[in-house]
Amino acid sequence: MMKTFRHILFFAMLFSVNLLIAQNKSNLYSFFIAGHTSGKPGVNNIGLHPAFKDKFGYVKSREEIKMGFLLGDIVVQGGATAQDWDEVDADIDSLGLPVYFAVGNHDMENRPLFESRYGSTYYSFVYQNDLFIVLDPNIDGWSIKGEQLEFLENVVDSSYQNVDNIFVLFHQLLWWTSDNIYANIEPNSFAGIVLPTNFWTVIEPIFHQLPNRVIMCAGDMGATSWSDNFMYDNYDNISFVGTGMGDGDGDNFIVLNIADDKSISYDLVCLNDTVLNCFGDLTEYRISNSINDNNFKGIFLYPNPATKQVTVTFLTDFSGNIYIFDITGHMIFEKQLKNIKSQVFNISNFPKGLYLIEAVSGNHQITRKLRVE
């Protein structure tokens, strides 16, 4: 499950020393993924998000990090100009590592400019006998179709028997739908989405049948008050990893470490804290550890942000407790519900700020962010 922010705060207290993230000497190589590296929405930085650039020294200090991936919205919305891309290129040059782009909707506001500079927006390569596939869901409304689908199928068919891990990288959280366990994860936006997408009917089955470990990485997170900052889940041979930055306290990027035996570990790196692992272990946030019951798929808040009242709606009849916590982790409201599909809560006396609404039923728990304005 996604840990609540109050859990994160308590967990971070256990790591009050400035601890460098452990580096496994048996690593074959590492690489980083970073989402929404344009940073705070509406701010046209000179190049990449300043808090991300502040961690370039850390990245360069880890010799086993051989490359990186920027997972979309690399430039600010409305800022896909030659100057913006020149500034991004200069930042990457200062890092001194190969860095690959998985484009987001911001980056594709001027597709001809991007393609004239960097070439195709979907491609693949092999490194240390691992296959890397970069996709562009912006072409067909979050689906992978036509020539891109043909490319994907050909790459997988011709490579899977000769490689170990397969990493698939893109911008949007393609695994999100409104009626599965990922409905509770909030990306930065649904810009350009055309429903239904073909992720679960076409794309996921391509990889689910393989003998390889498949790690899918997305970067449209962490830029807004309503979006989640990161996520992790895995089942069978597939893992989902989400990361992003721009909203402040939750800003992060992730280092993937591939060991000699091709096992994979993750370093979830804080951008705005002296404790690099202030969020703890990424795998502790595994969604399907607790959200694995079709009768407890999620909750939805409306409106959000809210001022006087908020309606909490459940996908199925809910019996359990609702808790509301403030940003310090203090519980300010509790109510028991039985067989409820929707419930209205009065928040007119809540001070402005960020809150967490937590639904608990048996061993299951889901948390959503609420902003009061």
The closest of 21, 8, 4, 23 to 277, measured between CA atoms, is 21
DSSP state of 212: S
Neighbours of 289 (CB within 10 A): 15
Q: What percent of the chain has pLDDT over 70?
A: 90
Q: Is the pLDDT of residue 316 over 60?
A: yes
Confidence of residue 25 (pLDDT cuts 50, 70, 90): very low
Using one digit for the tens of pLDDT, what is the confidence trace for 341-358?
889 999 999 998 888 888
Q: Which two tokens stand for residue 305?
A: 């942000």
Query: CA 27 to CA 24: how far, in whole Å?
Result: 6
Average pLDDT over residues 118-137: 98
Confidence of residue 91 (pLDDT cuts 50, 70, 90): very high
Please state, rounded to an integer, the average pLDDT across all residues of the chain: 88
* pLDDT recorded at residue 295: 44
Give the list of residues 6+ apart from residue 79 with CB closer than 8 angstroms, or none.
38, 44, 106
* pLDDT recorded at residue 26: 85
β-bridge partners, 343: 312
Using one digit for the tens of pLDDT, what is the confidence trace for 168-194?
999 999 999 887 888 888 999 999 999
* pLDDT recorded at residue 313: 80
Confidence of residue 298 (pLDDT cuts 50, 70, 90): low
* pLDDT recorded at residue 8: 41
Q: Is the pLDDT of residue 223 over 80?
A: yes
Residue 175, phi then psi, degrees to nearest 5: -80, -10
Confidence of residue 289 (pLDDT cuts 50, 70, 90): low
